[in-house]
């Protein structure tokens, strides 16, 4: 076996271990639980481990985990093909392993670009500096989104005040819709983390939904699109919907050359997922940028940055109770 075959097998083995861990974390005794199908996956050649490539000719793009690695990759890979055609550059999709964070990957240059929420943007901006390129446009053509607070369908919980003394699930610790905005919602209703019986970070919106649906938590905070879809299917119930906040988008490492930034940003702004560029896309309507992108600016994040400072969201230490 040559070195390339050994490297390919090591990459595949690492990905399978990560996906297996996600599957285990989502298991429950409830018949209506949401599960990850390990048979429904992209080919291992398409999904790279963080340090798999050091080729300076390849532009690496990471992402905040939204659903699960297979589904996220299926959505992003056809989009990367569009970027390659539009810019002439070669792009590689990079999966950040569970022991790493997209914030650090983007900040240190392990990836040159990243699909990130506002919360991740605030963290990487504060720690490393980052260049905001675009925000995603929602189904209404607006660069904003919401979070929802979810409970099991048969839960007696009816409002935010009922969450006092309950077990609460967040998504990723760096997530805007799965952590920062739910924290803002609690604070606006007079609740802090100390008012909860317990809380934990599940790692993604899908995992949060799994945990609440399975009854492992009394409630959770997650992104609006997936939450509303699951509520419509009767798997969860929404008790609160937040105000609008700046949507997710794409940001760049500060060392990316200016000529590359200009070309990539223009390709993003030209992207027409509902028309000219729709062919080959996979479930793009389920992303947080179903109608393409609009230019982003640092000032867009000012309000969320204030809340992040108030809530200690920018601290390197996140005290998670059992």
The model's pLDDT over 212-244, given as tens digits with 9 standing for 90+, comes to 999 999 999 999 989 999 999 999 999 999 999
Q: For residue 6, is it within any domain?
A: no
Q: Is the pLDDT of residue 305 over 50?
A: yes
User: Is 240 part of any domain?
Assistant: yes
* Neighbour-count burial of 119, counting CB atoms closer than 10 A to its CB (0-12 exposed, 13-18 middle, 19+ buried): buried
CA distances to 9, 136, 144 from 275, rounded to whole Å, are 39, 16, 21
Secondary structure element (H or E) that encloses residue 294, with its range: strand 293-295
pTM (predicted TM-score): 0.67
Instruction: Give domain status of residue 298, yes or no.
Output: no
Q: How many CB atoms within 10 Å of residue 25?
A: 17
CA distance 98 to 211: 18
Residue 51 has a pLDDT of 39
Whether 238 is in a domain gets the answer yes
Q: Can you spell out the DSSP letters for 254-276?
A: TTS-HHHHHHHHHHHHH--TTTT
Domain count, the chain: 1
**Alpha carbons within 13 A on the beta-carbon side of 251:** 31
Question: Would 170 be classed as within a structural domain?
Answer: yes
Residue with tokens 């569970």: 98
Distances (CA, A) of 51 to 7, 11, 60, 152: 11, 10, 10, 39
51-55, long-range: CB < 8 A, 24+ apart: 51/110, 52/7, 52/11, 52/94, 53/92, 53/94
What CATH number is attached to the domain comprising 240? 3.40.190.10
pLDDT digit string, tens, across residues 42-66: 444 344 444 334 444 899 999 887 7
Domain coverage including residue 234? 145-245
Q: Is residue 190 part of a domain?
A: yes
* Residue 280 in domain: no
Backbone angles phi, psi at 309, to 5 degrees: -70, -45
Output the DSSP codes for 123-159.
HHHHHT--EEEEEE--TTS-SEE-EEEEE-TT----S
More confident residue, 175 or 15: 175
pLDDT score at 28: 38
Q: How confident is the model at residue 91 (pLDDT cuts 50, 70, 90)?
A: very high
Query: What is the distance between the alpha carbons of residues 66 and 227, in angstroms, rounded to a whole number?
Result: 12
Question: For residue 163, is it within any domain?
Answer: yes
The span from the CA of 294 to the CA of 220, in Å, is 30
Residue ranges with strand state E in 152-216: 167-170, 198-201
Measure the CA–CA gap between 258 and 238, rounded to whole angstroms.
44
Indicate the pLDDT class of residue 102, thresholds 50, 70 and 90: confident
């Amino acid at each position: 076996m040559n070195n390339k075959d050994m490297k390919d097998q090591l990459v595949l083995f690492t990905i399978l271990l990560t996906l297996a861990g996600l599957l285990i974390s989502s298991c429950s005794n409830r018949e209506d639980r949401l599960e990850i199908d390990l048979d429904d996956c992209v080919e291992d050649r398409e999904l790279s481990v963080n340090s798999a490539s050091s080729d300076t000719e390849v532009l690496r793009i990471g992402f905040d985990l939204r659903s699960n690695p297979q589904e996220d990759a299926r959505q992003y890979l056809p989009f990367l093909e569009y970027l390659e055609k539009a810019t002439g550059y070669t792009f590689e999709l990079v999966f950040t392993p569970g022991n790493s964070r997209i914030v650090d990957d983007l900040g240190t240059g392990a990836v040159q670009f990243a699909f990130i929420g506002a919360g991740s943007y605030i963290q990487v901006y504060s720690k490393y500096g980052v260049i905001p390129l675009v925000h995603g446009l929602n189904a209404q053509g607006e660069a904003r989104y919401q979070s929802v607070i979810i409970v099991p369908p048969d839960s007696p919980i009816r409002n935010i005040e009922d969450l006092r003394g309950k077990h609460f699930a967040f998504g990723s610790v760096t997530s805007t819709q799965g952590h920062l905005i739910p924290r803002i919602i609690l604070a606006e209703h007079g609740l802090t983390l100390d008012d909860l019986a317990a809380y934990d970070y599940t790692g993604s919106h899908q995992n949060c939904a799994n945990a609440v649906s399975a009854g492992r938590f009394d409630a959770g905070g997650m992104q609006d699109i997936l939450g509303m879809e699951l509520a419509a299917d009767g798997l969860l119930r929404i008790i609160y919907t937040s105000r609008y906040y700046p949507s997710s988008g794409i940001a760049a490492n500060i060392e990316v050359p200016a000529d590359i930034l200009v070309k990539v940003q223009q390709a993003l702004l030209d992207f027409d997922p509902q028309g000219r560029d729709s062919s080959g896309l996979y479930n793009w309507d389920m992303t947080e940028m179903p109608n393409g992108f609009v230019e982003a600016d640092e000032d867009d994040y000012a309000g969320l940055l204030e809340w992040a400072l108030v809530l200690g969201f920018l601290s390197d230490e996140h005290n998670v109770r059992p």
